[in-house]
């Protein structure tokens, strides 16, 4: 019934043996599709392997917190995988100004490399006709969001972007939507102190947003603080439906449609 548009099933926090159980629990909870995202070149094969299952699709990208480990041509190396029907978008890419730069890196150089990688993820996406999944995070202010939006603006005529785990205002969401992009909401929506995010959700028209877990991170209530998993997108969905005064069916219909438009899931004959 629902789609988890953003999870990390190849995360080290899930052992390989647990993955079939995670997927089975999600299916039992009415989550019929999951999108698992790679965060570096090394975990692309593991994500593709998991996406061999009918309910799972994969995205391939270099997470902004991993750009210092990645070879300079990592975004171009992703091109080797895009023809694979298990791949449904480019990501997770983006800008993370929250975490301090790694040892040996000045903040400004680390951020510049993230912006360069984001730009090149867009170039690849435009070339191969896929969309882009973006992470932004700031310790204070909205600089990573503004910088990522600026890069998206240069590509929005050929590529769509989703700003995942969206935590901004309606004014910020509307700037993404005006460029043809989407936002997605996860477990934070259920947190007590997240009224501002709930206000944004209420103003997002149907078709402009998706649901996600970002598992293993950011578990929704009533699992807050535990390891997250795709089955829990149901709690995000129930909260969102209640807030918006929609039935779960109605919410599923338009969020699934938004996800299907964005990811254009390909049939997998593997
Ligand atoms: Zn993520």
CATH classification code of 2-263: 3.20.20.140
What is the distance between the alpha carbons of residues 91 and 135, in angstroms, rounded to a whole number?
9
| Ligand 1 midpoint to CA 63 (Å) | 8
Classify residue 134 as exposed, middle or buried by CB count within 10 Å of its CB (0-12, 13-18, 19+).
buried
What is the distance between the alpha carbons of residues 160 and 126, in angstroms, rounded to a whole number?
9
Classify strands 182-185 and 56-60 as parallel, antiparallel or unpaired: unpaired
pLDDT at residue 270 is higher than 60: no
| Ligand 1 midpoint to CA 217 (Å) | 8
The 10s digit of each residue's pLDDT in 172-214 is 999 999 999 999 999 999 999 999 999 999 999 999 999 999 9
| Ligand 1 midpoint to CA 6 (Å) | 6
| Ligand 1 midpoint to CA 251 (Å) | 22
| Ligand 1 midpoint to CA 146 (Å) | 19
Residue 251 is predicted with a pLDDT of: 98
Q: What angle do CA 95, 240, 9 make, to 5 degrees?
A: 50
Token match 């997770």: residue? 92
What is the distance between the alpha carbons of residues 257 and 262, in angstroms, rounded to a whole number?
8
| Ligand 1 midpoint to CA 8 (Å) | 7
Is residue 268 very low, low, confident or very high in pLDDT (cuts 50, 70, 90)?
A: confident
Phi, psi of 186 (to 5 degrees): -125, -155
The 10s digit of each residue's pLDDT in 119-130 is 999 999 999 999
3-state class of 223 per DSSP?
coil
Token code pair at residue 40:
């570096």
Q: pTM of the prediction?
A: 0.97
The DSSP call for residue 226 is S
What is the distance between the alpha carbons of residues 195 and 187, in angstroms, rounded to a whole number?
13
| Ligand 1 midpoint to CA 134 (Å) | 9
Length of the chain counted residue by residue: 270
C-alpha dihedral sign at 36, 34, 263, 240: negative
Q: Which residues contact 168 (CB under 8 A, 6 or more apart)?
A: 142, 145, 183, 200
| Ligand 1 midpoint to CA 192 (Å) | 22
Q: Give the mean model confidence (pLDDT) for residues 18-47.
A: 98
| Ligand 1 midpoint to CA 136 (Å) | 10
| Ligand 1 midpoint to CA 240 (Å) | 20
**b or e along 16-44 (b: 16 or more beta carbons within 10 Å of the residue's beta carbon)?**
eeebeebbeebbebebebbbbbbbbbebb
| Ligand 1 midpoint to CA 92 (Å) | 6
| Ligand 1 midpoint to CA 91 (Å) | 9
| Ligand 1 midpoint to CA 7 (Å) | 6
| Ligand 1 midpoint to CA 37 (Å) | 7
Q: What rounded mean pLDDT belongs to the chain?
A: 97
Contact 132, 122 (CB under 8 A): yes
| Ligand 1 midpoint to CA 249 (Å) | 26
| Ligand 1 midpoint to CA 245 (Å) | 28
The 10s digit of each residue's pLDDT in 47-102 is 999 999 999 999 999 999 999 999 999 999 999 999 999 999 999 999 999 999 99
The 10s digit of each residue's pLDDT in 150-163 is 999 999 999 999 99
As a whole number of Å, the end-to-end CA separation of the chain is 24
Where are the domains positioned within the chain? 2-263
| Ligand 1 midpoint to CA 132 (Å) | 13
Q: What angle do CA 139, 239, 32 make, to 5 degrees?
A: 100
Contact 31, 127 (CB under 8 A): no
| Cα dist from 6 to 77, 134, 140, whole Å | 22, 11, 24
């Amino acid at each position: 019934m629902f789609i988890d548009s953003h999870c990390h099933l190849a995360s080290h926090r899930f052992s390989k043996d647990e993955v079939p159980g995670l997927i089975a629990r999600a299916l039992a909870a009415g989550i019929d599709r999951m999108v698992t995202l790679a965060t570096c070149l090394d975990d692309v094969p593991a994500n593709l392997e998991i996406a061999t299952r009918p309910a799972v699709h994969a995205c391939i990208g270099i997470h902004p917190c991993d750009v210092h480990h990645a070879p300079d041509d990592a975004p171009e190396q992703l091109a080797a995988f895009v023809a694979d029907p298990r791949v449904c978008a480019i990501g997770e890419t983006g800008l993370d100004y929250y975490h301090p730069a790694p040892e040996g890196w000045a903040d400004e150089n680390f951020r510049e490399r993230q912006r360069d990688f984001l730009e090149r993820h867009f170039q690849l996406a435009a070339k191969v006709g896929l969309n882009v999944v973006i992470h932004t995070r700031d310790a204070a202010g909205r600089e990573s969001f503004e910088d990522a939006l600026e890069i998206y603006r240069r590509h929005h005529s050929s590529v769509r972007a989703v700003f995942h785990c969206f935590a901004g205002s309606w004014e910020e969401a509307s700037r993404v939507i005006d460029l043809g992009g989407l936002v997605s909401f996860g477990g934070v929506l259920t947190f007590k102190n997240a009224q501002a995010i709930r206000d944004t959700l209420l103003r997002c028209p149907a078709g402009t947003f998706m649901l996600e877990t970002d598992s293993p991170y950011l578990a929704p209530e009533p699992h807050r603080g535990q390891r997250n998993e795709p089955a829990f997108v149901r709690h995000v969905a129930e909260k969102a439906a209640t807030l918006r005064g929609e039935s779960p069916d109605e919410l599923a219909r338009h969020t699934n449609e938004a996800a299907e438009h964005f990811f254009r899931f390909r049939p997998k004959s593997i």
